[in-house]
Amino acid sequence: MSYAREDAGAPPSLFPDYGSTRTRAPLQPPLRVPQTRTETTGPAGWDRLMGPSLADLTTQHGGVPQGQRIIVTGRVLDEDGRAVPDTVMEIWQANAAGRYIHGKDQWDAPHDPNFTGAGRVVTDAEGRYRFVTVRPGAYPWGNHRNAWRPAHIHLSLLGPAFATRLVTQLYFPDDPLIEIDPIANAVPMPYRQRMVARFDMDVTEPNWALGYRFDVVLKGREQTPFEEDDHDH
Amino acid sequence: MTIDVADRRPEPRVDNQDPALFGQTPSQTVGPFFHYGLPWKGGADLVGQSDMGARPELFPEAHYVLNQSSPTGTPVGAVIELTGRVLDGQGAPVPDAMIEIWQADAAGRYAGEPGSDPHFVGFGRAATAEDGSYRFRTILPGAIGAGHAPHVALSVFGRGLIKRLATRLYFDGQAGNEADPVLSAVPVERRATLIATASGDGVWTLDIALQGERETVFFDL
Ligand SMILES: [Fe+3]
């Protein structure tokens, strides 16, 4: 058993419009190596590792955070459409004004004492997850003159194996900054749209929160091993 | 026939839910501000209950919402430290990177496999310090089978890294390095970029060069 390699939607490591990649992206092509149990196994017992679920980012402090309350929900699947149950999704984001709680964020928008912006959910048996947060604001960054990141939520998933590890960003459907953002643009069209959540009235709750649907698709299993399977197991 | 106003829905768009686009979610960078969201206190200590791995000085204490590692028991095996620096293409340290490790227990079994050490999770996470250094406390992994050399799988994340970089750390002088199916797939002249060197007291050092002359070998997984 092994896991699929990346598909046509994968971005390159070097994307010069995103300036930091110029000195940080490897210049050698990644080396294709056989997968062993090291790549096809992965950590389990996420709560023992990372602590209990933090699914509501709007109730972590004494008061209600500023901004538009939203629900984000969906499923974690593999590329064959199979649910990925019991896997952790970690999220972190800026507040409604586009400011991170991080000390090195120099953007002059207000902090919100009632909002940290970090959470963690685990998928159920059908791969479903759900969290409640506020919609993050766009923020400026130093990549080029008048550079603004589209509003986004950072997502980190372990998946079932070392080979399926994924960190990505969720974007919002009504954001004109996506099509000119160098980080989103590293993903070619139309695959870039895989990172754009769908506004969904069936997730939206009356008099409470707008709803967005976002499925995360991890690498699938391949039945034909690349070179040789591990002989010992 | 009219649709009741409460049942109206926006037209579907070309987005995450479009069946024609179904496929792997693309990777994006962790950016520079992940420290309050990912590396928890103790994430880099797979043996004890220290605070290793986090950078809590980078954000206000009231906003630390991550795990505090809890006592579980001591894993079997020789305690070691894995350390080194993450360097960019100009040799400058990378202070906003994050390393994850995944490794077998002392008997070569991964967490979750039958008979694996119940006190060893095998997974760790460490943010790099201002000098680009990372540090893990763990145990020396056993070989995962005949013909395999002991190794630790590494993932590197950071600002400027659109994709996770996957590599392995091997141990200088260990039996099996020559025959290992992954290490021997690496061109001879680049193998040293994956082999940690011992500096006494169980400390193993391996620098990770993201780019440049001694660029670490990263894998296509
Ligand atoms: Fe961001």
B195: left (phi over 0), alpha (psi -120 to 50) or beta: beta
Active-site residue, selected from the candidate residues A75, A149, A192, A212:
A149
Contact residues on chain A for B182, CB-CB shorter than 8 A? 33-34, 36
Look up A18 and say whether it is catalytic.
Answer: no
B111 CB neighbours in chain A (<8 A) are 41, 43-45
Computed on alpha carbons and rounded to an integer, the radius of gyration of chain A in Å comes to: 19
Residue whose structure tokens are 């839910």: B17
In a domain, A97, yes or no: yes
Answer yes or no: is B6 within a domain: no
Residue type, A41: T
Q: How far apart are the CA of A34 and the centre of ligand 1, in A?
A: 34
Q: What is the ipTM of this complex?
A: 0.96
What pLDDT, on a 0 to 100 scale, did the predictor assign at position A52?
83
Query: Considering the domain boundaries, does residue B11 fall inside one?
Result: no
Chain B residues with CB-CB distance to A6 below 8 A: 24, 220
**Residue A5 is encoded by which pair of tokens?**
């390699």
A41, part of any domain: no
pLDDT above 50 for A22 = yes
CA distance B103 to chain A (A): 7
Inter-chain residue contact B37 with A217, CB threshold 8 Å: no
Does the pLDDT value for residue A67 go beyond 80?
yes
Domain assignment present for residue B1? The answer is no
Instruction: Let me know if residue A106 belongs to a domain.
Output: yes
pLDDT reported for residue A167: 98
Residue B73 has pLDDT above 90, yes or no: no
CB atoms < 10 A from the CB of B51, how many? Answer: 14
Is residue B5 in some structural domain? no
Question: Which of the residue ranges A12-21, B69-78, B183-192 would you say has the lowest mean pLDDT?
Answer: B69-78
**What integer pLDDT is reported at residue B68 of this predicted model?**
62
Closest chain A residue to B145, measured at CA: A232
Across B158-170, average pLDDT: 98
Nearest residue on chain A to B182, alpha-carbon basis: A33
| B123 domain-assigned | yes
Query: What average pLDDT does the structure give for chain B?
Result: 95
Q: What is the CATH number of the domain that holds A189?
A: 2.60.130.10
What confidence tens digit (pLDDT) does each residue in A185-202 have? 999 999 999 999 999 999
Against a cut of 0.80, is the pTM above it? yes
**Domain containing residue B161: CATH number:** 2.60.130.10
B22: in domain: no
- Whole-angstrom distance, CA of residue A207 vs CA of residue A209: 7
Q: Which of B15, B26, B217 sits opposite A168 (nearest CB)?
A: B26
d(CA A58, CA A70): 10
Predicted local distance difference test score (pLDDT) of residue A224: 60
Is residue A48 annotated as part of the catalytic site, yes or no? no
Strand partners, B151: B170
DSSP B26: P
Angstrom distance (rounded) from CA B103 to CA B215: 23
Task: Give the domain extent around B69.
Answer: 33-221
Domain annotation covers residue B3: no
Lowest mean pLDDT among A33-47, A111-125, A215-229: A215-229
The percentage of chain A sitting over the pLDDT mark of 90, rounded to a whole number, equals: 90
Per-residue tokens: A114: 């009632």
Q: How many CB atoms lie within 10 A of CB A53?
A: 15
Q: Is residue A228 part of a domain?
A: no
**Helix or strand run (H / E) with residue B135:** strand B133-139
The first and second tokens of residue A51, run together, are: 């602590």
3-state SS string over chain A? CEECCCCCCCCCCCCCCCCCHHHHCCCCCCEECCCCHHHHCCCCCHHHHHCCCECECCCCCCCCCCCCEEEEEEEEEECCCCECCCCEEEEEECCCCCCCCCCCCCCCCCCCCCCCCEEEEECCCCCEEEEEEECCCCEECCCCCCCEECCEEEEEECCCCHHHCEEEEEECCCCCCHHHCHHHHCCCCCHHHHHECEECCCCCECCCEEEEECCEEECCEECCCCCCCCCCC
Q: Is A3 a catalytic residue?
A: no
Whether B2 contacts chain A with CB within 8 A:
no
pLDDT score of B70: 64
Residue tagged 């409604």 (tokens): A96
Q: How confident is the model at residue A69 (pLDDT cuts 50, 70, 90)?
A: very high
Which candidate, A41, A162, A83, A65, places its Cα nearest to that of A119? Answer: A65
Rounded CA gap, A90 and A168, in Å? 11
Residue A33 falls within a domain, yes or no?
A: no
How many CA atoms does the CB half-sphere of A144 hold within 13 Å?
10
What residue of A is the nearest CA neighbor of B215? A26
A211 vs A68: CA distance, rounded Å: 11
What is the domain count for chain B?
1
In angstroms, rounded to a whole number, what is the distance separating the alpha carbons of residues A129 and A87? Answer: 10
Binned at pLDDT 50, 70 and 90, residue A233 comes out as very low
Q: For residue A140, is it within any domain? A: yes
Q: Which pLDDT score is estimated for B69?
A: 56
> Domain range spanning residue A176?
2-6+14-22+50-222
State CA A7 to chain mean position distance: 17
Q: Is B80 helix (H, G, I), strand (E, B) or coil?
A: strand
**Domains contained in chain A, number:** 1
